[in-house]
Chain A
Amino acid sequence: MRRKRRKTTEASFSDPLSDYSPPEFDDDLEEALCDNDMTVMALTPMVTVNVETTVNKTMQILAEHGVACALVIDDEQKLHGVFTERDVLDKVAEQYHMVKDLPVRVVMTHEPMCVYAMDMPAKALNMMATGNFRHVPVLDFDDKLIGVLGPRRVTGFLSKYTQ
């Protein structure tokens, strides 16, 4: 069941560069999502594995921690990709015996879309919706990994405002 998207009509469109007044929000949830940076959301703990960790070991780590996403980093802590339950479904499950001993870099999702700590949460949520990502790594100003935003953290944040 597809919901109709809101259409921007000519009458409702206004040039954003012509309006310098501070944004107005309809409620505190909208304000929290648009007037804060990512640090208001829970971004840690996060599970990281080295690019050379085997697929099998990475899956064990995910199962032990009960999480759906491992951030794949190199020896210098630079983010190279993410390995998620979707990668297990798409790239591992039907060929488990062939890939289980390979390094996780072979089957991970390379160069994931990230947000920066100074971005607003609404941007991360929009990215999750439009890109169909469940996990969005969060970087600081120096591109250093500081956390990850996932579905549970988003629902936890929203729940605080809808109880």
Chain B
Amino acid sequence: MSPSLQVDSQGRLVHLLTTEGLSAEMIRHILDTAAQFVSVNEREVKKVPLLRGKSIFNVFFENSTRTRTTFEIAAKRLSADVINLNIGASSTAKGETLLDTVWNLQAMDADMFVVRHAEAGAPHLIARHVKPGVHVVNAGDGRHAHPTQGLLDMYTIRHYKKDFAGLTVAIVGDVLHSRVARSQIHALTTLGVPDLRVVGPKTLLPKDIERLGVRVFHDVTEGLRGCDVVITLRLQNERMSGPLIPSAGEFNKTYGLSPEKLAFAKPDAIVMHPGPINRGVEIDSGVADGSHSVIMPQVTFGIAVRMAVMAILAGNA
């Protein structure tokens, strides 16, 4: 998967497929642009005409009401026409059928595809086959990437911590299955976070993850010690029992973020979660609803960040 597929020869973003390989400059450009849209979303009229006359297709091969809704709101606030297609999680959606779907939609004059797919690389495949001037945004592909989530997390961290230079950031939980974690790690290392940690049981951390520039902790209190930012990850329901962890309750006891464990982080630490949260599993209600939590602002910033990505892409015809 070539990350350069998303940046053209003039250095302009033409697709957003992954945070891997995105320059710090490009990430900052997206975050700065998002800041403008945060202010749009606070106005009386929450709409700007940038994408008037453009058609954006939300093509979701894997269901996700939340993510789809945030993309839909973002597109509508940019005045685009939004068409939602839930194609469903057909495990047989192989290359050919996927591209046929896309070509059909392209024939309906789509300007942008927002794609979610259970298979890693599906958005890349689409990006490689669309006409010039048509843009693809990856809204989550398999375990690979979820770049807009990663970017909205960067926006949130920058909003509360101003700068990435002196930060200690811990990503806690099921890193192995998390496309969000991968997107965060690539962005955080690019932005120069000096101490980036992943915290979890061996069974839920990818082998060789140190190569991405993170420190591995199995002991949660050691992993959280002195952190400015604590990111908890969703433990997928289907993984709560089985060979990877003894039980959801056991996982909560060891790795679930409780006020007691959070006390090891800095007093002004922020707690993030990509949602939807499992209360009492990876995060306790006392933390999710507590004063350190910025989970709801993440959702709000997510709209602005998605607006920024779509506006930048559509402007780079």
Q: Do A and B come from one complex?
A: no
